[in-house]
Amino acid sequence: MTDKPQVVIPRGQVSKFVQLVVDGKDYLRARESYFSHKDILEEALREFKISFGWENIGGDLPGWEIFVPARKGERYEAIGMGHCRVAIDNRIDFFGESLDYRLKPNKEQIGRLIEQGVMQGVEFYDR
């Protein structure tokens, strides 16, 4: 198990985020929007000192390979991705999806984080 913060979101800007379950515990990691979801996932897995494999999302044709950290490993699973923004009133808006992983925000996990008192003021909307 780990004592890392469960939720990390930059303030005042649109960010990309990855929702993870690591060793059975919920986590959400967000970074500035110029980071890709694969970069955020890889950074989080390295933060937790988790080894991971790679999967090809680019297709089977030679030269079209695009490798990203695997969505699921022995100790973790990425269960949601998208964009978020912390507004001036501390409301957190979640929207969008990851085109690489085809994942949207996981409302159930965010609900669990709210119940645990880790996140407040969450709103979902589609863009």
pLDDT mean across residues, the chain: 87
What are the residues whose beta carbons fall under 8 Å from the beta carbon of 32, sequence distance 6 or more?
A: 10, 13, 15, 16
Q: How far apart are CA 19 and CA 127, in angstroms?
A: 19
- Contact of 32 with 8, CB cutoff 8 Å: no
Contact 109, 118 (CB under 8 A): no
Q: Is the pLDDT of residue 127 over 60?
A: no
Determine contact, residues 97/82, Cβ cutoff 8 Å: yes
Q: What is the pLDDT of residues 30-89, one digit of tens each?
A: 999 999 999 999 999 999 999 999 999 887 777 788 899 999 999 999 999 999 988 777
Q: Which residues does 49 contact at the CB level (< 8 Å), separation at least 6? A: none
Question: What's the CATH class of domain 7-124?
Answer: alpha beta
Please report where in the chains the tokens 């985020």 appear, as a residue. 17
Reported as a single tens digit per residue, the pLDDT across 79-119 is 999 999 887 777 888 999 999 999 999 999 999 988 888 77
Domain ranges of the chain: 7-124
Given a contact cutoff of 8 angstroms between Cβ atoms, the answer to whether 6 and 22 are in contact is: no
